Amino acid sequence: MCCLVDVKNIISNIYVDLRYATENNFTGRVIYDFQRCLLLKVAALRLKKVQTDLELMGLGLKIWDGYRPIEAQWRLWEVMPDSRYVSDPRKGGRHARGTAVDVTLVAKNGVELPMPSGFDDFSERAHRCFQEASSEALANRDLLSGAMERYGFVGLSTEWWHFDMVGWENYPVRPISSPLRDC
């Protein structure tokens, strides 16, 4: 259960839009050059349970980021050296372990539901305690958090979209050369 897997091989109907594989992110440049969302198999299996529950409500998940090599973490840190929003790569990264995922809620057709802020918003609007958004956005944020927490993920206080698998600190940082294996 400690190997990285392509999330689409576990959850075929999940939406994936890896922002750091494109220039459509806060840095304006490509941070890593792979197009598959990778997670530890145990994290992907938990995420599948979240997706299944959401589908019963006519909803689903869209993933913006999963596994991120430590080399990519350094690129993000160079642009935003603020540990409230970007993990200090000297301490390892949560994404670099394959245990963290950045997600949002979508309708069946993949359209994102309203949230208090956009992805990679480095303001108080992104904080989980922010209350000055629409009631719909706040309800969506709470629904996402509840669904993720039910299956062993915990949110980051400064980013409504970021979730760590409980126990993330027990897994090692994985370099980009870490191979995918059949698990």
Residue 97's CB is within 10 A of a number of other CB atoms, namely 24
Residue 20 and residue 23: Cα distance in Å, rounded?
7
Q: Are strands 59-65 and 38-40 parallel, antiparallel or unpaired?
A: unpaired
Distance CA 150, CA 3 (A): 23
Structure tokens at 180: 């995918």
The catalytic residue positions are 159
Amino acid letter, 55: E
Smallest Cα–Cα separation from 155: which of 129, 122, 118? 129
In one-letter notation, the amino acid at residue 6 is D
- Contact yes or no for 16/8 (Cβ under 8 A): yes
Contact indicator for 63, 17 with CB cutoff of 8 Å: yes
Residues 11/51, Cβ–Cβ less than 8 Å: yes
